[in-house]
DNA sequence: GTGGTCTAGACCACT
DNA sequence: GTGGTCTAGACCACG
């Protein structure tokens, strides 16, 4: 369950971000069917109208498209998806920088921490 | 407000993390008074017992101490707080690596993204 | 059955001490299974949550460990158990001194009483 | 409050021991008035008949005496009280020996622990 | 008013 | 059936 955080970000934007992340990381793949609005609304504990807004905004961005009869699907536009992936990576990098700055570390120190962390996980052997 | 994320992490651990971050970043300073258990419970929308558990666990770690009648305070053990800061940095670095990996980027690419992101923000002029 | 003693010591601490004594004296041996929380709670006439707290505190001390589905067990860390044994001995010695002091005896008299008591029981022939 | 220990000792004997300890240590002094049976029964959470039995047994031993109209009092027989004090000391010594034996220590080791414990408390400067 | 403790009762994940 | 977590609500000691 969740705790109450003082996050002023509108709920539909929070949801859009979650979907963007799932699409960028391949958890949602091109052409995948998206669950019905009402089901998703239940899953995330939000009003169906809010969920509807989030999904239609994602459609405006081209990341989703809907077929009135069959439902809603993830775009097959790989270029768009790759741009999304690059954007999400930039956000993650920025967020990492923001945290390290708040902890009082320099850019160089942040790099050191990252090198050390990835070496421990052997991440350099992994790629997409 | 919040949306429902399927996070299995126990609430009291989530709260402990929030407080750790605040202490590591200096948002909570050595000797600072922590709000009363019941008030914090209200703030985070959890039961007072859950909040009590989170805070007493942080006491066991030495990060907080309590004076039965006056309230609860942040430790003045700067060594402990600095260790916390280092640990939080490591966690942030690891999390960044985890995300970049899930997005299918290599370590080198993750470094590039980080360099680019920090240059845009001019973080290299900031230090502890 | 029991009589009501005005003992302010929290129940969970009393229980922790009982278990520490059993582990120190070998009544509970390394690797031994500990009875289920609910059963112990019944045995000692306390709420299961109180017993849970006592046992999880002992886990934090490393004296017990739990396997989510199989139950809870005594540590196999013999060094830790021996430290416990030394500590319990110190507590017993201190308690004996405290009692003799309250009875108005000097340290030397306390020694005499101990010598006399052990001679009567022939304890000197016993060792670990 | 109390936990349920599997102590088969009859309740009235447990209570007698408590009073003996209080008289031996001077917490109850010669001539002191003892609280009314019903009050004590409430304090210790036992049946008034049980408390009555405990106290009348202590009378048989000469440690208490009762004045039908004024109540019950601690004996003024100092020789009797001193014998009690010696006896309680012997019991404490024996109990200490029993515990150390159960922990697997020899008599000599028990002596060492006692010396160490009392030195830490500076008890040797205290006497009756 | 503060933290601390306890109880009763519920739900969950895991196997 | 196990340990783990959470909530609701109560009481206590301390000052």
Summarised one tens digit per residue, pLDDT across range B32-75 is 999 999 999 999 999 999 999 999 999 999 999 999 889 999 99
Q: Contact B45/A3 with Cβ under 8 angstroms?
A: yes
Q: Would you say the C-beta of B119 is within 7 Å of strand F?
A: no
**What is the spatial distance between Cα C111 and Cα D107, in angstroms, rounded to a whole number?**
11
What pLDDT score does C66 carry? 93
Within 7 A of a protein CB, which nucleotides of strand F? 1-10, 13-15
Write down the pLDDT at residue D122. 59
Q: How far apart are CA D97 and CA D110, in angstroms?
A: 7
Minimum distance, in Å, between the CA of residue C60 and any CA atom of chain D: 22
In this complex, does chain D touch chain A, defined as having at least 3 beta-carbon pairs under 8 Å apart? no
Whether residue A42 is predicted with pLDDT greater than 90 in this model: the reply is: no
Facing residue for C113 by CB, picked from D44, D89, D99: D89
Is C32 in contact with C74 (CB distance < 8 Å)? Answer: yes
**Rounded-to-integer distance, Cα D14 and Cα D23, Å:** 15
pLDDT surpasses 90 at D45: no
What per-residue confidence (pLDDT) applies to D100? Answer: 97
C-beta separation of A41 from A47 below 8 A: yes
Vertex D121, ends D120 and D127: CA angle to 5°? 135
Tell me which of B17, B27, B102, B125 to substitute to probe the interface with A (most A C-beta atoms closer than 10 Å).
Answer: B102
The token pair that represents D64 in the structure block: 């208490």
Question: Two tokens at B74?
Answer: 């942040």
**Chain centroid to CA D44:** 15
Nearest-nucleotide field for C37 (CA, C1'): F3
Give the count of alpha carbons within 13 A of C81, CB side only: 20
The confidence band for A121, taking pLDDT boundaries of 50, 70 and 90, is low
The pLDDT mean for chain C works out to 90
pLDDT of D22 reads 93
Instruction: Please name the residue whose C-alpha is nearest to the C1' of nucleotide E5.
Output: C10
Cβ neighbours of B8 in A, within 8 Å: none
Q: How far is CA B114 from CA A127, B45, D90, in A?
A: 17, 35, 75
**Does residue B123 have a pLDDT over 70?**
no
Contact assignment for B93 to A103 by CB distance below 8 Å:
no
- Cα–Cα distance for residue pair D9/D51, rounded to 1 Å: 15
Residue D128 pLDDT grade (very low, low, confident, very high; cuts 50, 70, 90): very low
Counting as low any pLDDT under 50, the low residues of chain C are: 123, 127-128
State whether the beta carbon of B71 lies below 7 angstroms from any atom of strand F: no
- Closest alpha carbon to C1' of E2, residue: B69
Could you report the per-residue pLDDT of A19-38, keeping only the tens digit for each? 999 999 999 999 999 999 98
Checking DSSP bridges between strand C64-67 and strand C71-74, what pairing results, if any?
Answer: antiparallel
What b/e string do you get for D68-99 counting C-beta neighbours within 10 Å, with b at 16 or more?
A: eeeebbbbeeeeebeebbeebbebbbbebbeb
Q: What is the pLDDT of residue A122?
A: 59
Please name the residue that has the structure tokens 């010594």.
Answer: D93
Give the 3-state DSSP-derived string for chain B, with helices as H, strands as E and coil as C: CCCCCCCCCCHHHHHHHHHHHHHHCCCCCCCCEECCHHHHHHHHCCCHHHHHHHHHHHHHCCCEEEECCCEEEECCCHHHHHHHHHHHHHHHHHHHHHHHHHCCCCHHHHHHHHHHHHHHHCHHHCCC
Provide the percentage of residues in chain A whose pLDDT is more than 70.
94
A119: confidence class by pLDDT, cuts 50, 70, 90? confident
Tens-place pLDDT, residues B84-107: 999 999 999 999 999 999 999 999
The mean pLDDT value for A6-15 works out to 89
Q: Is A114 left (phi over 0), alpha (psi -120 to 50) or beta?
A: alpha
- pLDDT of the residue at A12: 93
Pairwise pLDDT comparison (D86 vs D41), residue with the higher score: D86
Instruction: Please tell me the predicted confidence (pLDDT) of residue B5.
Output: 81
Q: Using CB atoms, which residue from A1, A14, A97 is nearest to B118?
A: A97
Closest CA to D2 of C20, C44, C51: C44
* Interatomic CA distance for residues C71 and C27, integer angstroms: 18
Cα D89 versus chain centre, distance: 10
């Amino acid at each position: 369950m969740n705790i109450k955080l003082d996050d002023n970000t509108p709920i539909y934007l929070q949801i859009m971000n979650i979907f963007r992340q799932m699409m960028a990381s391949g958890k949602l793949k091109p052409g995948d069917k998206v669950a019905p609005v009402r089901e998703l609304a239940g899953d995330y504990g939000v009003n169906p109208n809010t969920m509807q807004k989030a999904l239609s905004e994602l459609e405006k961005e081209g990341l989703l498209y809907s077929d009135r009869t069959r439902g809603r699907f993830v775009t097959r536009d790989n270029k768009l998806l790759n741009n999304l992936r690059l954007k999400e990576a930039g956000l993650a990098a920025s967020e990492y920088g923001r945290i390290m700055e708040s902890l009082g570390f320099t850019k160089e120190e942040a790099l050191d921490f990252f090198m050390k962390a990835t070496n421990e996980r052997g991440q350099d052997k992994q790629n997409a």
